[in-house]
Structure 1
């Protein structure tokens, strides 16, 4: 998959901008705050229909500045070659209407139907939240990784989340009305068990398949200095979902929410047998996150036959020269496909890119 052209209108600080890309490496260089990361975010939109920065769609519409007025929509358009033909993906977000995603002028009925057409992997400073934040961040990341290659998983996840919301609403209603009916609550047990167990099995299988890749990539980047691991922590590792729901019925009634299930799963990132967030330096943590993302990219390529686009935001920050060199050599050897890089140092970027290929473009933002 190759993005040949990107056109932005009223997207964040880019009122009107167009880029024609190299099929190999594209670099966006400039000072902080000029909008380099925003370009990567637009490319991420083309892939999954939303921002990787966590912004709501409406917040990405250009707002007023001393030199410009606020706008009432944004548009992102990409020309994408899939190996056989060119496709046009167009995303438009009006201020007063819902977001529209079109492929070759035909709107998707559901945004979920677009997921997987243009797979992508992004490595950015915001990834550090995966290590420092709560389990929710890691669950969302795990779900996003699997969903890019498994539409059935995404369907099961959506159904599971709806069921949890409905069960929680009923528990809150019981508490409000000082009334409890266990039989009414049991209606939600069957779909929770059905969809939750499928999600659990997929997650377990995915972590098992990706762990050797993570360990291999980390060993290359770190020159074998440390050993890392990923542990899938789930209540379903110990007992069935049905038992969990039955055992925690009274607890759920008191708390007024579903306290056990795969919506409480977590990933434990370890280095040399200890939690990475407790003992890992910033460089070690970033090296681990890069290994994690490159492994994700490898799996997507293996499962779908598509080479994902690789988005590297401020990739060289907090890595020493040795780890940068290992990373560049790794990217060069693995043939990761089309790569997009942001950096504040033009000369550093040019030196790094030159080691990989002459077929590159550098855009000063």
Structure 2
């Protein structure tokens, strides 16, 4: 997959901007606040129709000089899929629903677009995967699997809807001071069906990706540490049906579903200890890069598509040795089309010279 062109209109701080890209390496250089990361976010919209920064779509509509936002934003890309050129357009009107089109034909559901243009982004915001709660790690795991498995995405959407409906009923019981076990049990079957399928897919995916993470980390860190990812889930010890039965009274008191795959977590370890507690900034960043490159490798293996690689401020907090190892890795693995942001033009030019690919540098 190759993004040939990108056009931004009223997107974040860019009023109107267009780019024609190299099929291999593209770099955006400029001062902090110039909008380099916003260009990567535009590319991310082409892939999954949302911001990797967690911003709402409406907040990405450009504000004019008087602080009032424009009426819409548009992100449009020309993408070559190996056989033909495709136009992907994402448009967000201020007062209407987001529209995503492929070759002028609107998607009925955003989920139908996921997987057409797979992408992997590595950015400073990835540190939240280590420092934040399990929710960010679950979202990341779900996003990884969903790019290659439409059935998983469907099961996830159905599971989340069912949990919301069950929670609403539990709250209604508490508010109205009554309880109907039969009504609540209606949700058990879909929770068990979709939740168990999600659990098995997560287990299978993590078993496959862990050796890749360990291999990439060993290369980037020059073999100095050993890392691991532990999948924590209540379903490892109990069936979903048992969990629902055993925690029924607890759920009534809390007025929400306290057990299930929506509580799963990933534990990142280095040399047998918590990476969050014992890892330096460089070690944590190296682990996150290894994690994302493993994701990229897995997507390519499962779909036959080479994902677009987005590297935001990738060289910050990495020493020269780790940068060199990363560059050698990129050279050897042939990761496909790469987009890089950096504040230091000379550093970027030096790094790009070491990669034996065609490159373009855009000053933002």
Using the size of structure 2 for normalisation, the TM-score is 0.99
Deviations 1:5-44 (A, max 9, x none): 0001000010000000000000000000000000000000
Deviations 1:224-272 (A, max 9, x none): 0000000100000001000000000000000000000000000000000
The within-5 A match list for 1:212-223 is 212-223=211-222
Superposed CA offset, 1:51-92 (max 9, x none): 0000000000001236x8631100000000000000000010
- Quick check: 1:46 aligned with 2:46? yes
Mapping 1:128-143, distance limit 5 Å? 128-143=127-142
* Alignment pair present for 1:245 and 2:244: yes
Gaps of 5+ in 1: none
Residue deviations 1:137-172, cap 9 Å, x none? 000000000000000000000000000000000000
CA distance in 1, matches of 2:235, 2:107: 35
Matches within 5 A, 1:189-208: 189-208=188-207
1:151-198 CA distances to partner (integer Å, 9 max, x unpaired)? Answer: 000000000000000000000000001101111110000000000000
Deviations 1:257-308 (CA, angstroms, capped at 9, x unpaired): 0000000000000000011000000000000000000000000000000000
Unaligned runs of 5+ in 2: none
Match of 2:69 in 1: 70
Please give the residue correspondences for 1:97-136 in structure 2 after superposition, counting only pairs within 5 Å.
97-136=96-135
* Contact 2:156 2:194 survives alignment (8 Å): yes
- 3-state SS, counterpart of residue 159 of structure 2: helix
Match of 2:174 in 1: 175
Q: 1:340 is paired with a residue of what secondary structure? A: strand
The corresponding residue for 2:19 is 19
Match of 2:284 in 1: 285
Which whole-Å CA distance do the structure 2 matches of 1:323 and 1:63 have between them?
39
Residues 121, 309 of structure 2: 8 Å contact kept: yes
Matched, 1:320 2:303: no
CA distance in structure 2 between the aligned counterparts of 1:192 and 1:200, rounded to whole angstroms: 11
Residue aligned with 2:229, SS: strand
**Number of aligned residue pairs:** 364
Query: Which residue pairs with 2:59 in the alignment?
Result: 59
With 235-244 and 68-77 compared, the bigger mean Cα shift is at 68-77
Distance (Å, rounded) in 2 between the aligned partners of 1:187 and 1:112 = 27
TM-score by length of 1: 0.99
In 2, Cα distance between equivalents of 1:196 and 1:314:
37
Seen in structure 2, the aligned counterparts of structure 1 residues 364 and 189 have a Cα distance that, compared at 3 Å, is same
- Please tell me the root mean square deviation across aligned C-alpha atoms, in Å: 0.8
Q: In structure 2, how many angstroms separate the alpha carbons of the residues matched to 1:330 and 1:282?
A: 20
| Contact 2:24–2:357 (Cα < 8 Å) also in 1 | no
- Per the alignment, in what secondary structure is the counterpart of residue 22 of structure 2? coil
Residue number in structure 1 paired with 2:155: 156
